A and B are shown apart, each in its own frame.
Chain A
Amino acid sequence: MKPQTKTELSQLLSSYLDGELDEAQTHAVETMLSQNPDAQKELEELSALKNLLASKKPLPPSYGFWTRFSLELERRKKEEENLLPFPRKFLPVVSIGAAVVVLVIGIVLFQQRATLVDYVSKQSERVQKAVEDNVLKGALMPLFTHIDKNQALQFAMFGTLPLDAKAGTELRVNEDSASGYTIDVDKKGARKTPTVTVQEFVDEVQPNRVQFQIIDSLLDLGRAKLEGSVLVAEDKAMAVNPELSRWNRVMLSGIAAALEPDQRVRFERFLQSRKAPYMLVGGRRGPESPERIYHSMRTPEGVTHFVVISPDSALVTRLDIDLDSLRRHTGGMAEKQRTVAVHVNSLIRRMAEREMAVSQQYRVPAPRVRVSGDSESFSIQVSTGWEGVPSMPMEPWVRPRMSEQVGTGRRQPRGGFNVQFGGDDSSFFFNLDMDSLMVRMGKAGNGGGIEVFKGDPRMGNRVFQFDERGLQQFLDSAFQGKKRKMSALDSLMNEMDKRERMRKEKELPEPRR
């Protein structure tokens, strides 16, 4: 038996030292040791180590260990007894009893499951009804009452509708094939949506009389749809029909379908020149008939799903709204319009005032609708495929123009993540959209600091700024931390040097006197 590696040799010597080898192995090791001075040396060192460990002084005995132990044991026993509302000896009986009760309840529930499901659904309906009654109590008014055909065309081309010219708020629908549709209500900021009129469209595209009649009817129908899609319950809540997010595309497809090929080229040029975020695409099967599109816009009337948003809740609910009677009821449109605008601004402000609503994105009961609040806006995101938004009945003739999105300031659906940094005396928070984050670092002489923008910095939608003073504090604290770490390392190095010196002094021979 000859060890092949150093590790094997060490293991063999270790077992030999412990007397754990059998007679043959012991003999083999002893023979090997007599021929191998290195192994002999290693064994001596291992033996010295073993003796050193064996000579370890024991701890002084602990007097009163039992007393302390028994007191602790007693305390724990009492604590445990106190946790139980009955003597501990009954624990097994009580456990078995509880298990039997749970089992019986389970069986009863299983047998009564039909009644139970019925009860739960009735309860949830009652809850929904209560919310609807409370949230939508009071005057329910359409947000848009005076949409003209120019605005309807503008909505079709850009997906935007002005809410309140004074406050600069607008409603904007936005679509992304990957994650669905979004409906945003916020301030326009520095964005400028180009204005278009039906007259400009007619001049450019030159539809004939029949075509114009079809287009006019489409715009008219679109106008009615828009008016019935966003409703406001004073400043308590807003109800939005998520279908709104696709009306503009449907309207645009309808217009395109009514045109002849050369007119469609002119229409595409018109869209391009106005920097509309959509472009016409040639379908494989040719255009749908405008009648069918017209029909598809008309059909889903009556009970519709609405997303109802209030400052602290959001839910999807069915609302049966008779728009005509609502219109008759509200009367005095100009005045009402102003009231509605005030309510919407107040609603957005109230959403912003709530810390939770600002930073939190919460899912409403229907699984594919997400509502998120912002400091000056809110956004409803509707995933494709949700039953509230039926898929396009026809092959879409319009798709988003990816290269140019100027004009409407289209926002991508919210993805990304939130980041929060906290310190002893301050903290800051910002939301990062993965595809539109911009970090700008300025020179110290030029105001200094770090700025983080969403999208284009020219729009001034700065989300985070670190000024020079803040930056200095940050650097100072980082420097202090490093310094602390360095001093700990320094003291360690000093100790090592000291020991090295002591060792060398020991090794040097005593100077002869």
Chain B
Amino acid sequence: MAVFEGDRLEEAEEILGRYPEGRERSAIMPLLYLAQSVEGHVSRDGLKEIAGLLSLTTAEVEAVASFYSMYRLRSTGTHVVSVCTNLACMLRGAGEVYEAAHQAAGMRHGQELSDDELITLHEEECLGVCDFAPVAQVNFANHDNVTPERMRELIAELRDGSVPEPSRGGPAISSFKSASRVLAGLKEAPAS
């Protein structure tokens, strides 16, 4: 089954149309997000199809995809939990928050995807929310002033099948796939 077919193919065409004529290569980043929104990560097939749409080689697309940390080239959880540990957050206790996330998600040393494949945990560089440090994101929705206790609650909520309401900036994002759709510049929650 193709990654881009039916409505997704139409959306890919719409994304190509955002950029000036002859400059379609600029669409590579939103197309990677679109592929990620379908498969939950960017697969080999996704890279190939984007290459086909842009008349590039798969290697050229992979070179771009592998440069940016928000494209996931391997199996990724239903939800991505990002914890900032950069200086402003570190000074306000982010180390303990990250440790709490690791323990609550049941991660072993070096593990980033939980055994049940529900959560990918990502240690983040500065998320630009230093005024509410320490901060985390669930599917790129913001959670401010997160304590270790609050982090354990966030993970427990995800385990219970709900997505916690963010502190600010709109509604919860239901999954990493859904976040990737928004990042492609499309409305959330397509008909599957």
Indicate, yes or no, whether A interacts with B.
no
